[in-house]
Amino acid sequence: MATLLHLDSAVFPQGSASREITAAFVQAWQGQHPEGTVVYRDLAATPLPHLDFAAVSAGIEDSLRAELASELEAADAVLIGAPMYNFTIPSTLKAWLDQVIVVGHNAGPESPVAGTPVTVVASRGGSYAPGTPREDYEFVQSYLEKVLTGMLGAEVDFIVPELTLARSRPEMAELIPLADASRTKALDDAAQKGKALAARLAA
């Protein structure tokens, strides 16, 4: 049986684009692999403490860091909802990364997490795609790709629903068709990737 570690970090419990897409991924995963396990953490509802001196000094001996690291290592795949807040990831997700990454234990070339597939739903209110005016302000994908591959050796894939604020901002009304198309593609990608990954790990 494969285990999926699912993390959500969007502040809003309802109406969140990233939560909608991660839910679609999980539904597809469970449909393909009903005997599998899903371990869920809502980092917004139950935030982790920021890393402090005591935790850094204790390293993997710290009970919380050991728990989080073990949870990550036990996962066959990871799903992360990472909406863009102020051009980067939510602070709650950064707190999880700071707690779970322990240099000398799971960070480095011999990481026990190496090769683990990580799917990130990187939702954003506008567009930060290559060629757009705000391309240089994109620090969600660029950061997570570097930290997850560079420190943990994970295999990272992104699903990116864009323009999620179009229906709530009058000044973005003309972008609604593009926003709807992006949402539809993200939902399709989540369903296909969730199903394919479950099938791959259950084989």
Per the annotation, where are the binding residues for FMN? 16-18, 84-87, 123-126
What whole-number distance in Å separates Cα of residue 152 and Cα of residue 132? 30
- What lies within 8 Å, CB to CB, of 136 at 6+ separation is none
What whole-number distance in Å separates Cα of residue 135 and Cα of residue 150? 22
Residue 57, Cα to own-chain centre: how many angstroms? 27
3-class secondary-structure state, position 9: coil
Residue 37, Cα to own-chain centre: how many angstroms? 18
3-class secondary-structure state, position 39: strand
Q: Which residue carries 């567009």 as its tokens?
A: 127
User: Tokens in use for 119?
Assistant: 């799917």
3-class secondary-structure state, position 1: coil
Residue numbers in the known binding site are 16-18, 84-87, 123-126
Q: Give the residue ranges of DSSP H helices in the chain.
A: 17-32, 53-58, 63-74, 91-100, 141-150, 176-202
